[in-house]
């Protein structure tokens, strides 16, 4: 174990995600297990710049494993994008005696981490936390499982009313650059069609599938629209379809930020716990500038540079399954 590291700072950054608290708890308790001190940094990089530090103990993370959001709060920091902001952040870390960091967040967080490491060389390991599941180097990100369960629960409820009224529903789910939530909730929620940023949106194709459904005596239909698909969002798509397809009355539901909240599922609690332990142990073993993830259910490390620049590839088999089962 690395005796040079005496105090580890932990922070959450970017969009919050259920399971972040489980990861914070694991980081704090693992550091204490190895007789290291831990400091929580509030509001992500912004709190580093404003010197918002709180000492963490084993009891500081009691009763949080089941809570959504992040007890350390989070922010998307514009100041950290400037050299002056990063210098201030580094000076504050030194004053606080923090000599290593665990960053919990998404690609923006790790892009910042890579730049920060390049400038100041402070050891850093990242834990992927974003409901979007769009990071290269891990099969799953923290919060994704909870988010798709939330989306599917909502779709189930929509299905009840859609079937009762013989309606066509467009359900918009989150995913600015990724169709992961859309595809998984489309399959799990039994949707007729999934629109996502990874492929171009074809209204003709969508209408053809809906027509076939109507011919096959479907009483109602559900279309999942990822927030970042290229057709302009659920309301615009619904308008375009309505103009040419009138078998059903049409409704639009945007699930929005409810997908980001809520108590984390068992899978997200386990993931946060596993990655939190691995992050601290790897830092103490001299690992740095890497994201820790799970690949084939085993802990795996990916350089920040790869995690942020290589594309997460959507599973083509899942796309095939979603289409095959929609008849």
Note whether 105 binds ligand F6P by CB under 6 A: no
Least distance from ligand F6P to the Cβ atom of residue 216, Å: 33
Note whether 131 binds ligand F6P by CB under 6 A: yes
The answer to whether residues 30 and 281 touch, using CB atoms and an 8 Å cutoff, is yes
Note whether 89 binds ligand F6P by CB under 6 A: no
249 is catalytic: no
Note whether 292 binds ligand F6P by CB under 6 A: no
For residues 19 and 201, what is the distance between their CA atoms, to the nearest angstrom? Answer: 32
Q: Helices (H) and strands (E) in the chain — how many of each?
A: 11, 11
Q: Check 16, 99, 107, 132 and give the catalytic one.
A: 132
Least distance from ligand F6P to the Cβ atom of residue 182, Å: 10
Scored b (16 or more CB within 10 A) or e, 31-48 reads bbeeebbbbbbbbbbbbb
Nearest residue (beta carbon) to ligand F6P: 15
Residue number with CB closer to ligand F6P (168 or 194): 194
CA 312 from chain centre, in angstroms, equals: 13
Among 39, 46, 114, 132, binds ligand F6P (CB under 6 A): 132
**Strand-pair partners of 221:** 168
Among 13, 109, 130, 265, binds ligand F6P (CB under 6 A): 130
Note whether 15 binds ligand F6P by CB under 6 A: yes
> Which positions ≥6 away from 298 have C-beta within 8 Å?
none
Note whether 176 binds ligand F6P by CB under 6 A: yes
Note whether 174 binds ligand F6P by CB under 6 A: yes
Note whether 227 binds ligand F6P by CB under 6 A: yes
The answer to whether residues 243 and 210 touch, using CB atoms and an 8 Å cutoff, is no
**CA angle (257 as vertex; 13, 24 as ends), nearest 5:** 35
CA 79 from chain centre, in angstroms, equals: 23
Residues annotated as part of the active site: 132
Where does this chain bind ligand F6P (CB under 6 A)? 15, 130-132, 174-176, 227, 260
């Amino acid at each position: 174990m690395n005796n040079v590291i005496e105090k580890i700072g932990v922070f959450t950054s970017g969009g919050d995600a259920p399971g972040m608290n489980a990861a914070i708890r694991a980081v704090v308790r693992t550091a204490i297990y190895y007789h290291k001190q831990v400091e929580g940094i509030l509001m992500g990089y912004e709190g580093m710049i404003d010197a918002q530090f709180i000492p963490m103990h084993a009891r500081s993370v009691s009763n949080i494993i089941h809570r959504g959001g992040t007890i350390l709060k989070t922010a998307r920091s514009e100041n950290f994008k400037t050299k002056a902001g990063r210098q201030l952040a580094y000076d504050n870390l030194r004053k606080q005696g923090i000599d290593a960091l665990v960053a919990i967040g998404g690609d923006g967080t790790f892009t910042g981490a890579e730049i920060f490491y390049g400038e100041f060389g402070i050891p850093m390991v990242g834990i992927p936390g974003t409901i979007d599941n769009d990071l290269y180097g891990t099969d799953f990100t923290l919060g994704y499982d909870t988010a798709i369960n939330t989306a599917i629960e909502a779709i189930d409820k929509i299905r009840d009313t859609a079937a009762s009224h013989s309606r066509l529903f467009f359900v918009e789910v989150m995913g600015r650059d990724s169709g992961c939530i859309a595809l998984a909730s489309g399959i799990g929620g039994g949707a007729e069609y999934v629109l996502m940023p990874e492929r171009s949106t074809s209204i003709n194709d969508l209408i053809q599938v809906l027509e076939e459904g109507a011919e096959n005596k479907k009483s109602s239909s559900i279309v999942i629209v990822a927030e970042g698909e290229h057709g302009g969002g659920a309301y615009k798509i619904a308008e375009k379809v309505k103009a040419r397809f009138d078998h059903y009355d049409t409704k639009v539901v945007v699930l929005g930020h409810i997908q980001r909240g809520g108590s984390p599922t068992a899978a997200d609690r386990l993931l946060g716990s596993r990655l939190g332990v691995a992050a601290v142990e790897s830092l103490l073993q001299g690992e740095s500038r890497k994201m820790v993830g799970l690949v084939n259910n085993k802990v795996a490390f990916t350089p920040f540079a790869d995690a942020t620049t290589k594309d997460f590839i959507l599973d083509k088999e899942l796309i095939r399954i979603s289409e095959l089962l929609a008849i």
